[in-house]
Amino acid sequence: MERLYIYGIEEGLDVAIMYYRQQFPRITNKHIEEIMKLEHWIPIVRKQLHNLGTQFIYEYEIKNSEYVGYVDLMIPNSDGSVDVIDFKYSNNIDNYLKSKQIHLYKYYLEKQSYKVRNLGYLFIPKTNIRMKKDEDTYKFRKRLEESMNTQRLQLKKVEYDENKVKEFFEEIKILEKDTSYEKNETRLCDWCDYKEYCQSDGKIDYMIREE
C-alpha cells in the first residue's frame, strides 16, 4: 500500500485509485473499502508533505554492487541538503524506528554526494476493524469512516546512528560465511517468491544442482 500512497501523492488520487482497480479482475466490497482508505488518507498525506516543502523526489533508486534500495521521498532544502522520509502503512511504529533501513539510505546517499539533513518516517495508520455479524455494508462503512477520523498521521524524526550501518555490514559478513540456512517462517513469507518451494516440506525440489 505504501506504493499506492506515493503514487497518489505524485500523480493524484484519481490516478492511484484507477491503478489500484486495474490490479484486480473483479472488485469486491473489500477492494472498495481499501479505496475508501486511499480516498481518506492521500489528501491528508499531501497536505502534510506540503507543510514540509514544495519540491519532492519520489522513489529515488540507490543501486550499487552491495546494496539496492528505493527512497520513498526526498525533500530538497534551500541549503542544498535533502530530508529523507520513508512511508509506512503500519501501526507498528516502535519496530520500524529500530530498523536499519533509513540509516542505510543516508549512508549510501552521502556516498552519492547528497547531504542528508533529516531522516524520518511518515506512518499512515492502518484501520483493522471488521464487519460485525449484525452489521450491513452501509453501517460497516460508516464505522470505517468514523474509525479513520479518529486516527492521525505520525511523522517521526530519526537521529542517524552510524552503528546501525556497521551492524548491517557485520550481518552481511556473517551471511557470506554461513553454509547452512535454517528456515525462519514469519508473516513476511507471504511476500516471498519462494514460499511455495520453501514450505512444501520437501515435496517440491527447489535445489539447483550442477550437471
- Count Cβ atoms within 10 A of the Cβ of residue 165 and give its class: 0-12 exposed, 13-18 middle, 19 or more buried: middle
pLDDT band at 191 (very low <50, low <70, confident <90, very high): confident
Q: What does the domain layout of the chain look like in residue ranges? A: 2-198
- Range name among 48-52, 112-116, 173-177 with the lowest pLDDT average: 173-177
3-state secondary structure at position 8: helix
pLDDT band at 138 (very low <50, low <70, confident <90, very high): very high
Measured CA distances, 23 to 19, 47, 144, 207 (Å): 7, 27, 23, 32
pLDDT band at 161 (very low <50, low <70, confident <90, very high): very high
pLDDT band at 1 (very low <50, low <70, confident <90, very high): confident
Q: Is the pLDDT of residue 13 over 60?
A: yes
Put simply, whether the predicted model's pTM sits higher than 0.85 gets the answer: no
Q: Is the pLDDT of residue 171 over 80?
A: yes
- Count Cβ atoms within 10 A of the Cβ of residue 31 and give its class: 0-12 exposed, 13-18 middle, 19 or more buried: middle
Concatenated DSSP letters of 142-172: HHHHHHHHT---EEEEE---HHHHHHHHHHH
Q: Give the right CATH number for 2-198 from 3.90.320, 3.40.720, 3.30.1450, 3.90.1690.
A: 3.90.320
Q: Is the pLDDT of residue 206 over 60?
A: no
